[in-house]
Amino acid sequence: MINEFKAFIARGNVIDLAVGFIMGAAFTAVVDSLVKDIIMALLGPVLGGIDFSNWFIQLTGRDKIVSTIKAAQDAGVVTLNIGLFINAVIKFLIIAWAVFLLVKAANKLMPKKEAPPSGPPAEVVLLGEIRDLLKK
């Protein structure tokens, strides 16, 4: 069983997956900063100084007035965090776009596969002709 496990780990796909996972985690930190520190900072003034990260709907504790998600959490108020969801969607779109560009670039670097010949292989045609001749 240990030898099978070693063979499994040594396969290229598992190592590639591990490298991809680590790179994805690092890339997520970069995208998080891009969304929070650049995109939202630029969108905020355009939309009248709105900070998406504190867009929420207060579901409980109507007698308590809270102005931030952090204050709501400290007060035990349940909130529907719309702004955080918007941030997550923007992060997803940025990551999806980057992965699309990466795959597109990788496809250009890969050698082109030759198109398979149309019709049956020459050997099959030749065997068919021999069969027909033998029938005659």
Domains in the chain: ranges and CATH: 2-113 (1.10.1200.120)
Q: How many other C-beta atoms can be found within 10 angstroms of the C-beta atom of residue 130?
A: 10
Mean pLDDT score, 111-118: 74
The one-letter amino acid at 15? I
As a three-state string, the secondary structure of the chain is: CHHHHHHHHHCHHHHHHHHHHHHHHHHHHHHHHHHHHHHHHHHHHHCCCCCHHHCCEECCCCCCCCCCHHHHHHHCCCEECHHHHHHHHHHHHHHHHHHHHHHHHHHHHCCCCCCCCCCCCHHHHHHHHHHHHHHC
Note the pLDDT tens digit of each residue in 32-69: 888 778 877 787 788 777 667 788 888 888 788 888 88
pLDDT at 128 over 70: yes
Residue 72 near residue 79 (C-beta atoms within 8 A): yes
As a whole number, the mean pLDDT across the chain is: 83
Residue 71: left (phi > 0), alpha (psi -120 to 50), or beta?
alpha
State the pLDDT at residue 25: 86
Note the pLDDT tens digit of each residue in 59-96: 888 788 888 888 888 888 899 999 889 888 888 888 88
State the pLDDT at residue 51: 67
pLDDT at 1 over 80: yes
The Cα–Cα gap between 15 and 12 comes to 5
Residue 24 near residue 98 (C-beta atoms within 8 A): no
The Cα–Cα gap between 59 and 80 comes to 7
State the pLDDT at residue 107: 84
Residue 134 near residue 128 (C-beta atoms within 8 A): no
The residue with greater pLDDT, 45 or 134, is 134
